[in-house]
Amino acid sequence: MNTLTTLERRGMAAISTPGGKMLIVAADQRNGMKAVMNDAPDGPNSITAQQLSDAKADLVRYLGNAAPAILLDPEVALPRVADEGVLSRDTALVVGLDASGFETVDGLRYTKFVPGMSPRRVRELGGDVAKMLWYMRPDLQDDGSRVADEIRELVKACTDEGLLLIVEILVYRLDGESEEAYAAAFPGLVAESARLSVECGAKVLKLQYPGSAEASAAVTEASAGVPWAVLSAGVDHETFIKQVETAVANGAGGAMAGRSLWKDSMAVSAETREHLLTTRALPRLQELEAVVDGTLVASNGGWSAP
C-alpha cells in the first residue's frame, strides 16, 4: 500500500462519508454536460460558456453541496463557484487537471493537462484534492511507458504540495479490436491498470466497474490496499447503484458519480434545472450514499435496510 501523508489523510477524510467511504459528485464534464442540455433552442452546441457556467453553479448549489465532495473543472466552474460562495464550506472541492479529449499516438490514447494547471494551481483555486485522468492499456504499457512516467511524476508533485491525487484510469478498445475480444479482456484490463497505477505510486484510484463481484475482488487484490472508487461511466442510476453495491461488497472504497445522477436533470432553463436537480438528482445521491455506506441493499427488486 502506498502510504498517505498526514495532509493526504485529511484530503481523504474530506471526500468521504461519515461511514468512511468515498462519495464524489463528478461535474467536471464540459462537452459531455452540454450534450444533455437538450432544451437549448438551437441545440446543445449553441450553449455558451456562460450558460454552462450557470448550469454548473446550480449543479453545485442543488446537488453537490449535499455530497462530501464535488469534482469540478478549472475552465468553466472554477474559480467562480468558490469566489461567489456557491460551494458549501462543508463540501470538499476536487479539481480536475485533465483537458477534454485525448490524442492518439501509435494507436494509444493520451490525455493532456488543462493549460496552466499544476498542484499549486489546484490549491490556488481552493481545491482540497486533485484528480487526473489517464487512458491505459496495461497489455501494451508497462512501468517504463509514458503513462507510467506521467503518473509517477504527478503523484510526486502532488505529494510535495501536500495534495491528495485521485488517479483515474480508463481502459478502452483499440482500433481493430473486436467488441468480443475487448469485452473478454475488460475485467483483466481494469485490474491490471490498477496494479500498474499502484506500482507507479497511486494512492487513490477511480476505475470503471469491472463487470462482476469476482472481477471487483480481483481489482481490490490488484490495488494492494490502495482504495478505489467506481465511476458511473454514463450508465443509468439504477444500474450504477447495483454496480456500486457489488463493488463495495468486494472491496471498493466508494463511488464517484456524474451523469448517472444528473444527466436527465440538466437544462438551459434555470427553473427547470432547480426543479429536476432537487426532485430527481438529489434523491439519487441520497440513495447512492446509503448504498455506499451499506445502510441500503438490494432486496426483491427494490432496496431495504440490511
pLDDT tens digits for range 163-206? 999 999 999 999 999 999 999 999 999 999 999 999 999 999 99
How far apart are the C-alpha atoms of 279 and 239, rounded to whole Å? Answer: 19
What is the percentage of the chain residues whose pLDDT exceeds 70?
A: 96
pLDDT recorded at residue 139: 97
More confident residue, 295 or 124: 124
pLDDT recorded at residue 76: 93
Average pLDDT, the chain: 94
Give Cβ neighbours of residue 20 (< 8 Å, ≥ 6 apart). none
Nearest to 182 by CA among 190, 171, 173: 173
pLDDT recorded at residue 143: 95
pLDDT recorded at residue 15: 98
pLDDT recorded at residue 40: 83
> Span 244-259, mean pLDDT?
97
> Span 61-65, mean pLDDT?
97
> Span 66-84, mean pLDDT?
96
> Span 69-76, mean pLDDT?
96
> Span 217-240, mean pLDDT?
96
pLDDT at 304 over 70: no
pLDDT recorded at residue 30: 84
pLDDT at 118 over 90: yes
pLDDT recorded at residue 300: 52
C-alpha cell at 209: 466497474
> Span 24-39, mean pLDDT?
90
Give the global pTM. Answer: 0.94
How far apart are the C-alpha atoms of 65 and 46, rounded to whole Å? Answer: 28
How far apart are the C-alpha atoms of 231 and 209, rounded to whole Å? Answer: 7
pLDDT at 302 over 70: no
> Span 1-15, mean pLDDT?
94
pLDDT recorded at residue 42: 83
pLDDT recorded at residue 298: 61
For 256-300, the pLDDT digits (tens) are: 999 999 999 998 899 999 999 999 999 999 999 999 998 866 655
pLDDT recorded at residue 234: 87
How far apart are the C-alpha atoms of 189 and 111, rounded to whole Å? Answer: 18
Q: What is the DSSP string of 263-280?
A: TTT--SSHHHHHHHIIII
Which of 48-52, 214-218, 299-303 reaches the highest mean pLDDT?
214-218
| Chain length of the chain | 306
pLDDT recorded at residue 301: 58
In the block, residue with C-alpha cell 503518473: 151
